[in-house]
Amino acid sequence: MASGVLVFGEATDDGGLNPVTKELIAAGSNLGGPVTCVLAGTGVEGLAQECVAAGAGKVIVVDDPILTPYQGDAYIPMAERITKEVDPSVLLMGQTMMGRDLAPRLAQRFSTAVAMDCMALSMDGDQLIAERPCYGGSARARYKINGTPQMATLRAKAVEPLAPDSSRQGEIVRQDAGVTADQVRTKITDRRKEKAEGVRLEDATVVISGGRGLGGPEGFKELEDLAEIMGGAVGASRAVCDLGWYPVPTQVGLTGKVVTPDLYIAVGISGASQHMAGISSVKNIVAINKDADANIFKASRFGVVGDWKEIFPAFKEKVRELKSA
């Protein structure tokens, strides 16, 4: 009989444990566990104990070069085999590049369904309740899955990881991928990384975003200065990126990036539904806008009505003063 939670963890490109892995383990523990975590890739064996410390009762390590970089043809057979062996009631992945591709393909093989991009998970008896945003992030829908395993992908930072405990004990099992090169139908011939300076938007605890209300691209220099002081990242609205004021990869919103910082400062952003979908999980929103009726104020914890050119420099200097104190 299916039981427990199976989590597919991930490593980062630089060989560390992707933070979403610890969040998935915590989510599985909150659902009642026990949690089995799969770590697949190259050089991932050293991360197993970190998963145990994060709350996993068992870690299955599949260390094989054929699994790096991620390709569905290599992962699907391995993931299907392990899922059958573990026979979990619930299966979780991150809403990452891997999770978005692997989860639905794996669900099809088990004739079950998957709730994508979830923001909250809970159990009603033995039934998984998955909450995900709908209507551009203005509402949440709850889903139940009639199939086994019940599957979901979890948005980054939707769940707080458990406090790491090095004294936790867990079982570490090593398996082969069981996949040969001729099973992989696609070949990656080249990879080019976009050079980025500072903190990534997706990882930042502080994000300062600018909108069309800045009046032009020169306004972003002020935002960059504050981001440097606060150790944060700079984002932009879709309108700004469409106008060419700021790079497209910094776009926050439904068609851009979803961010979950502890603090989000919106400068000159009206709060259109497309943008709000990208910040629906932000803990604290601070808005600066000269339009008192701007939609952004409805979701803000703090708001300032006025010309950002008068407000922002004083705010920046105060932050600088407090940081240096």
176 & 230 share domain: no
- Structure tokens that stand for 204 in this block: 């930042």
pLDDT, tens digit, 9 for 90 and up, residues 18-76: 999 999 999 999 999 899 999 999 999 999 999 999 999 999 999 999 999 999 999 99
59 and 129 both lie in a single domain:
yes
Q: Does residue 237 belong to any structural domain of this protein?
A: yes
Of 136, 152, 183, which marks where a domain is finished? 183
Q: What whole-number distance in Å separates Cα of residue 58 and Cα of residue 275? A: 40
Give domain status of residue 217, yes or no: yes
Alpha carbon of 36 to those of 51, 126, 164, 179, 189: distances in Å?
10, 18, 16, 22, 34
Residues 21 and 104 in one domain: yes
DSSP state, 101? H
Burial (0-12, 13-18, 19+ Cβ within 10 Å), 46: middle
Question: b/e string for 216-255 if b means 16 or more Cβ within 10 A?
Answer: eeebbebbbbbbebbebbbbbbbbbbeeebbeeebbbbbe
Residue 170 has a pLDDT of 95
pLDDT for residue 194: 66
Q: Which domain holds residue 9?
A: 5-183
Least confident of 151-160, 183-192, 305-314: 183-192
81 and 141, same domain (yes or no):
yes
Indicate the pTM of the whole model. Answer: 0.83
165 and 50 assigned to the same domain? yes
Residue-level pLDDT at 55:
97
* Same domain membership, residue 63 and residue 132: yes
Q: How far apart are CA 38 and CA 144, in angstroms?
A: 24
**Residue 209 Cα distances to 20, 47, 78, 289, 300, angstroms:** 24, 34, 41, 12, 14
CATH number of the domain where residue 308 is located: 3.40.50.1220
Residues 129 and 213 placed together within one structural domain of the fold: no
Same-domain check for residues 233 and 166 = no
Burial category of 32 from C-beta neighbours within 10 Å (exposed 0-12, middle 13-18, buried 19 and up): middle
Is residue 269 situated within a structural domain?
A: yes
Residues 142 and 287 occupy one common structural domain: no
Alpha carbons 265 and 308: distance in angstroms, whole number: 12
Residues 170 and 281 grouped into a single domain: no
Residue 268 near residue 210, CB atoms below 8 Å: yes
